Amino acid sequence: MPNMSDNAEKTSKKAFDLASVLGLTLAVVAILGGQALEGGSIESIMQPTAALIVLGGTFGACLLQFQLANAMASFKAVVRVFQDAKTNNREVIQEIIRLANKARKEGVISLESDAQKISDPFLKKALTMAMDGVEPKVLRETMELEIANLEEEAEQPIKFWEAAGGYSPTVGILGAVLGLIHVMENLSDPSKLGSGIAVAFVATVYGVGLANLVFLPVSGKLKLKSKAHLVAKEIMLVGVISILEGENPRLIEDKLRSYLSREEQEVQSESAGTGQKKAA
C-alpha cells in the first residue's frame, strides 16, 4: 500500500486555503479602506480598552461554557481554516477498489498484510476487525460509533466559534453602553462628548466585526471541512463492508463514486480509464 501513504503525504503538503486567505484579506481591506476613504484615521478605531472588554468578555464566556481542552482544540483548529488539506476521496475509493479486487482474486484474508500498512487509523481499524473475523453487522456498529465520535470531536471547535460569534456582538454592545454611561456622567464638558461617544462605539465595531468577519465564518468553514472529512470515513466503512460481503468490485465503485461531487466523478471516470463503462 505504498500508493496510499504517498498520496497521504501529497495531500498533507497542506497548501493555503485560498478562499480563507482571500476572504479575510478582502474583509479587512474593505473595512479599513472604507474607514480611510471616509477620512477616518485607523488610530481612531484602535482602542485597547475596547479590545480588552470585547475579547476578554467573549473568551471568558466561552471558557465558562466549554472545557479547557475544547477551547485549546478550537484555537488550534483555526489553523485548519487556512490550510487546504482536502481529503482526497477519489484516492480513497481507488485504494478500496484495489483491495476489493485483491480480495476477489486471493480471498479476503489476503488483505491482512495490506491492513498493516494502511496509514489512516480508521480504515486500518475497520480492515483489521474484518481480518479478525468480526461479522459485518458488529463491524458496522463499531465503526459507526467511531464516526459518531469523530463527528462529536469535530463539532466542538465549530460550536466554540459559533458561541464566540454569538457572545461577541452583545459584549461589544455591553462595552458601548459602559462607554456611554461614562460619557453621560460627564455631560458638563460637551467638547469631549463626541469623542467619548466615538470611543464607546469602537467596542460595537469590534464585537460586530469579529463575530461577522471572523468567528462565524471560521465556524462555518470548519463545518464544511469536517463534513468532507467524515464523508471519507463513510466511504471507507461502506467499502470495507462491501468487500467483506463479497460484492462485485465494479458495483462497489459505482456505489462509492456516488459520494463524490459531480466534478470529482468526472475526473474519476477519466483517471479510471475507458474500459470501465462497458465492462460488466
Task: Tell which one of 4, 118, 211, 237 touches a second copy (CB under 8 A).
Answer: 211
Q: Cβ closer to a second copy: 6 or 109? A: 109
Minimum CB distance to a second copy, residue 23 (Å): 3
Range 146-165, binding a second copy (CB under 8 A): 146, 148-150, 152-153, 163
Task: Tell which one of 15, 46, 52, 109 touches a second copy (CB under 8 A).
Answer: 52
For a second copy, which stretch binds (CB under 8 A), given 8-16, 88-96, 182-190, 267-275?
Answer: 182-190
Contact between residue 10 and residue 84 where contact means Cβ atoms under 8 Å apart:
no
DSSP states of the chain:
-HHHHHHHHHHTT-EE-HHHHHHHHHHHHHHHHHHHHTT--SGGG--HHHHHHHHHHHHHHHHHHS-HHHHHHHHHHHHHHTEE----HHHHHHHHHHHHHHHHHH-GGGGHHHHHH---HHHHHHHHHHHTT--HHHHHHHHHHHHHHHHHHHHHHHHHHHHHHHHHHHHHHHHHHHHHHHHHHTTT-GGGHHHHHHHHHHHHHHHHHHIIIIIHHHHHHHHHHHHHHHHHHHHHHHHHHHHHTT--HHHHHHHHHTTS-HHHHHHHHHHT-STTTT--
Which of 170, 205, 200, 203 lies closest to 185, judged by CA? 200
For a second copy, which stretch binds (CB under 8 A), given 3-11, 91-99, 253-261, 267-275?
Answer: 253-261
Range 213-242, binding a second copy (CB under 8 A): 213-214, 216-218, 220-221, 224
Task: Tell which one of 8, 27, 78, 230 touches a second copy (CB under 8 A).
Answer: 27
Q: How many chain residues bind a second copy (CB under 8 A)?
A: 113
CA 150 – CA 237 distance, rounded (Å): 14
For a second copy, which stretch binds (CB under 8 A), given 26-34, 91-99, 103-111, 268-276?
Answer: 26-34
1 binding a second copy? (CB under 8 A): no
Q: Cβ closer to a second copy: 119 or 170? A: 170
Task: Tell which one of 105, 137, 262, 275 touches a second copy (CB under 8 A).
Answer: 262
Minimum CB distance to a second copy, residue 223 (Å): 9
Task: Tell which one of 29, 46, 109, 267 touches a second copy (CB under 8 A).
Answer: 29
Minimum CB distance to a second copy, residue 29 (Å): 7
Residue 39: CB atoms within 10 A of its CB come to 6
Q: Cβ closer to a second copy: 105 or 279? A: 279
Minimum CB distance to a second copy, residue 108 (Å): 15
Range 83-142, binding a second copy (CB under 8 A): 129, 132-134, 138, 141-142
